[in-house]
């Protein structure tokens, strides 16, 4: 029996849930509010998904990894790929399991590997390199008085950071960006088949790239994260093979820069819309820490990820049949009135701010969250400090990315006052 036929009438939501529609790409939050109020757990027949929108329910699902499997957690649909795409993918290696889409005990082995190599000390040591890289990128366009922050800054800064940690040459940054974006588009699987074939080719190229990089370090270890991953992979009772290790830097590259790219764009636009909160946030180190968390809560870069129910489960007052797919909606949960007072307001002093779910909860909480927070604390103040009078460049300055489970921009055109012109705050 299909999920659609098994879904009880009470779980069929009368509200149109269509994340890729122009109106919901522009502003999905009124729809999320209606969902929480009217159908907090509902079955979306067009997407063959149960959607969980309230904070308490979302956290309960995320923390119950025995009932809710993380396999295929970043795949919008479980439909098999078109034959042409499958043929292209067969040239490489299975895409799973990764840190994001694995269950125990595999997840424990992968998480342990990353925890040994991706240490707080390694992340903390990145503050000065991040600041230098951000300054160099700004230098490249500062005197122009205008730029596309996504194209000229947003994707390259976080990618440079994670590549430096991994030991990836700077000359490879641009193609890694393209490969990462293609990987996400392949998982979404909504584009024409010819495009999906191209995406699959990129994924295989990325796999081969990191296998070659790891093999080089196996013969000649260095001080970078990939060398540390290899060393950690050989330790313990269950050593990881080279393909298992290869998926880790791929996972870190994709999640580690795409998420921060979205957070930079979302954050700058939000701060331009809230000048008073911007002045408070950028004028005090403690307020800056709070502000980063509030930006992540208000505009979660990952709107939600997916789980598969292992056995019949009750979420809220809805019974979800075994085998069903569930979208845990981080963004809806992060604006839940029962968890966050006045959730649609930008408030640096709100209670329980660190409880937001932008980086997930439970065993799959984002391993790169400390690096993402550091990057945002460095680059957002720097942008407003260096680009005096920063503002959006016209009514069509921004364009939203069309990704089912994420929220960010493909374009944020801005302008600012160059030397000799009247400056802003």
Q: Are strands 325-328 and 305-309 parallel, antiparallel or unpaired?
A: antiparallel
Yes or no: say if 330 and 304 are a contact pair by the CB < 8 Å rule: yes
Token duo for residue 261: 């790219």
Token duo for residue 319: 């019974």
∠ Cα 360 364 367 (to 5°) = 85
d(CA 97, CA 10): 35
Q: Of 252, 237, 349, whose CA–CA distance to 291 is shortest?
A: 349
Domain ranges, residue 330? 3-415
Identify each DSSP E strand in 223-349 by its residue range.
305-309, 313-315, 318-320, 325-328
Longest dimension (CA), the chain: 70
Q: Look up the CATH number of the domain holding residue 48.
A: 1.10.630.10
Give pLDDT, residue 424.
46
∠ Cα 256 202 379 (to 5°) = 25
Token duo for residue 336: 């839940």
d(CA 90, CA 8): 39
pTM confidence score: 0.90
Distances (CA, A) of 29 to 8, 18, 199, 260: 26, 12, 31, 21
pLDDT tens digit at each of 425 positions of the chain: 334 445 555 456 678 899 999 999 999 999 999 999 999 999 999 999 999 999 999 999 999 999 999 998 988 778 889 999 999 999 999 988 999 999 999 999 899 888 888 888 999 999 999 999 999 999 999 999 999 999 999 999 999 999 999 999 999 999 999 999 899 889 888 889 999 999 999 999 999 999 999 999 999 999 999 999 999 888 867 788 999 999 999 989 988 788 999 999 999 999 999 999 999 999 899 999 999 999 999 999 999 999 999 999 999 999 999 999 999 999 999 999 999 999 999 999 999 999 999 999 999 999 999 999 999 999 999 999 999 999 999 989 999 999 889 999 999 999 999 975 444 45
Phi, psi of 335, deg, nearest 5: -120, 25
Which neighbouring-strand residues pair with 146?
415
10 Å CB burial of residue 71 (0-12, 13-18, 19+) is middle
d(CA 84, CA 312): 35
Token duo for residue 332: 């809806």
Give pLDDT, residue 418.
92
193 Cβ neighbours under 8 A, 6+ residues apart: 82, 84, 85
10 Å CB burial of residue 128 (0-12, 13-18, 19+) is exposed
Cα-based torsion angle of the residue sequence 73, 79, 85, 89 in order, rounded to the nearest 10 degrees? 40
Yes or no: say if 372 and 263 are a contact pair by the CB < 8 Å rule: yes
Q: Which one-letter DSSP state was computed for residue 151? A: I
DSSP string across 81-96: PPHHHHHHHTTS----
d(CA 65, CA 362): 8
Give pLDDT, residue 92.
96
Structurally, the chain folds into a number of domains equal to 1
397-402 long-range contacts, Cβ below 8 Å, gap at least 24? 398/265, 398/269, 400/25, 400/26, 401/262, 402/20, 402/25
Task: Locate all alpha helices (DSSP H) within 274-304, ordered by sequence.
Answer: 275-282, 285-298
Yes or no: say if 295 and 273 are a contact pair by the CB < 8 Å rule: no
Give pLDDT, residue 5.
40
End-to-end Cα, the chain, rounded Å: 60
The reply to whether 89 falls in a domain is yes
Q: Which one-letter DSSP state was computed for residue 48? A: T
The reply to whether 141 falls in a domain is yes
The reply to whether 424 falls in a domain is no
């Amino acid at each position: 029996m299909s999920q659609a036929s098994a879904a009880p009438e009470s779980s069929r939501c009368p509200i149109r849930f269509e994340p890729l529609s122009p109106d919901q790409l522009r502003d999905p939050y009124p729809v999320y509010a209606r969902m929480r109020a009217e159908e907090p757990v509902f079955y979306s027949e067009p997407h063959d998904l149960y959607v969980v929108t309230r904070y308490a329910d979302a956290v309960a699902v995320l923390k119950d990894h025995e009932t809710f499997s993380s396999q295929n957690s970043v795949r919008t649909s479980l439909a098999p790929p078109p034959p042409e795409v499958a043929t292209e993918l067969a040239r490489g290696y299975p895409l799973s399991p990764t840190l994001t889409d694995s269950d125990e005990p595999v997840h424990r082995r992968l998480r342990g590997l990353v925890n040994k190599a991706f240490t707080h000390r390694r992340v903390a040591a990145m503050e000065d390199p991040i600041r230098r890289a951000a300054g160099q990128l700004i230098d490249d366009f500062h005197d122009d008085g205008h730029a596309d922050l996504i194209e000229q800054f947003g994707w390259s800064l976080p990618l440079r950071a994670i590549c430096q940690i991994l030991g990836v040459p700077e000359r490879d940054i641009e193609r890694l960006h393209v490969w990462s974006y293609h990987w996400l588009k392949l998982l979404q699987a909504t584009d024409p088949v010819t495009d999906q074939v191209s995406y699959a080719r990129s994924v295989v190229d990325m796999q081969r790239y990191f296998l070659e990089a790891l093999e080089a370090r196996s013969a000649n270890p260095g001080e970078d994260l990939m060398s540390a991953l290899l060393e950690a992979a050989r330790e313990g009772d269950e050593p990881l093979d080279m393909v298992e290790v290869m998926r880790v830097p791929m996972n870190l590259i994709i999640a580690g820069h795409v998420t921060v790219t979205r957070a930079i764009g979302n954050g700058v636009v939000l701060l331009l819309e809230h000048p008073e909160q911007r002045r408070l946030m950028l004028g005090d180190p403690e307020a800056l820490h709070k502000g980063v968390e509030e930006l992540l809560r208000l505009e979660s870069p990952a709107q939600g990820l997916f789980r598969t129910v292992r056995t019949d489960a009750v979420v809220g007052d809805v019974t979800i049949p075994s085998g069903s797919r569930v979208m845990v909606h981080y963004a809806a949960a992060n604006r839940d009135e029962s968890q966050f007072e006045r959730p649609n307001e930008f408030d640096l002093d709100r209670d329980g701010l660190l409880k937001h779910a932008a980086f997930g909860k439970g065993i799959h909480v984002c391993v790169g969250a400390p690096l993402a927070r550091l990057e945002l604390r460095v680059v957002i103040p720097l942008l407003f400090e260096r680009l005096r009078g920063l503002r959006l460049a016209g009514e069509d300055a921004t364009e939203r990315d069309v990704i089912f489970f994420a929220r960010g921009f493909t374009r944020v055109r801005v302008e600012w006052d160059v030397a000799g012109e009247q400056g802003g705050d």
